[in-house]
Amino acid sequence: VQIVRTIPEVRRALAAPRTSGRRIALVPTMGALHEGHLALVDGAKGGGAYVVMSVFVNPLQFAPGEDFERYPRDMEADAAMAGERGVDLIFAPETGEMYAGEPEVTVRAGRLAGDWEGRVRPGHFDGVLTVVAKLFGIVQPDVAWFGQKDLQQALLVRAMTRDLNMPVGLEIIPTVRDVDGLALSSRNRYLSSAERMRALALSGALNAVKASYDGGERDVEELEYHGHAKLLATPGIKIDYMAVVELQTFRRPALLAEAGAAIGAIRVGGTRLIDNVLLGPSTL
């Protein structure tokens, strides 16, 4: 796999596949790769696309006091995993290559970002959308691949491509989990084995909500009750939120009549984890 650090190198590397008419697929990541990222690569490879993976820990999407400095970085392992899985090009810029200074123009997320991750992490989605818009401008992909694991983010990126008329197709893949149900995340490597056990309460809670939904319950407070019960029964975790929302708006209705999702965020020790499950007939 070819690794490049600068924007001109990306453009040079893409000239040949583009002129030969190959589709260009982009997989944006912050590195510390796991099977979730690699499932995005597998999807992107389908159809013979030329696959570009970006590896960039984007400072704009971290609030002060979050884990930007200690976020795991392991370029050597990432390159080996990505290369083995068939990534054609890794774009791993230094911060200065992406932000020569304080940007004059950024993307601002709208109402879809008003609650949940957007409320707990002020400015987070503006930072995400800005870097994704930049990556789209740099790579000019035909299609970009995102994970359902970060559901609010994926829906916001989709809204951005729609509202700003960006000529990029979006694909969203289901969350990849460990055998015990824990959603794979780069942040899982912060967890001690005792914390990892406690972290299972999150997927357990979301599954409890889904079981109730599948049993016919549509009252949102009732649905959420099953998730909260599971989380509150687990010592040593802090709940940021556990809620049932409509997919369209990411808002909490009284009754869930449309396709929805159970979403949750908890803290285990110093580690913040998020997860979600879809409720109902829900094609993303």
CB of 251 to ligand AMP, least distance (A): 21
CB of 72 to ligand AMP, least distance (A): 10
Identity of the residue, 182 or 242, whose beta carbon is nearer to ligand AMP in the bound complex: 182
* Active-site choice (37, 124, 226, 228): 37
Q: Which stretch binds ligand AMP (CB under 6 A): 37-45, 109-117, 231-239, 261-269?
A: 37-45
CB of 243 to ligand AMP, least distance (A): 19
- DSSP code string of the chain: -EEE-SHHHHHHHHHHHHHTT--EEEEEE-SS--HHHHHHHHHHHTTSPEEEEEE---GGG--TTSSTTTS---HHHHHHHHHHTT--EEE---HHHH-SSS-S------GGGSSTHHHHSTTHHHHHHHHHHHHHHHH--SEEEEEGGGHHHHHHHHHHHHHTT---EEEEEPPPB-TTSPBP-GGGGG--HHHHHHHHHHHHHHHHHHHHHHTT--BHHHHHHHHHHHHHTSTTEEEEEEEEEETTT----SB--S-EEEEEEEEETTEEEEEEEEESS---
- Note whether 182 and 199 are within 8 A (CB): yes
Q: Which stretch binds ligand AMP (CB under 6 A): 29-37, 159-167, 210-218, 235-243?
A: 29-37
43 in contact with ligand AMP (CB under 6 A) = no
CB of 223 to ligand AMP, least distance (A): 23
55: β partners: 29
Residue nearest to ligand AMP (CB): 147
CB of 186 to ligand AMP, least distance (A): 5
Site residues for ligand AMP, 150-169, by CB under 6 A, read: 150
36 in contact with ligand AMP (CB under 6 A) = yes
Determine the size of the site formed for ligand AMP (CB under 6 A). Answer: 17
Site residues for ligand AMP, 169-208, by CB under 6 A, read: 173, 175-176, 183-186
Site residues for ligand AMP, 76-135, by CB under 6 A, read: none
What does the binding site for ligand AMP look like in residue numbers (CB under 6 A)? Answer: 29-30, 36-37, 39-40, 146-147, 149-150, 173, 175-176, 183-186
* Catalytic residue set: 37
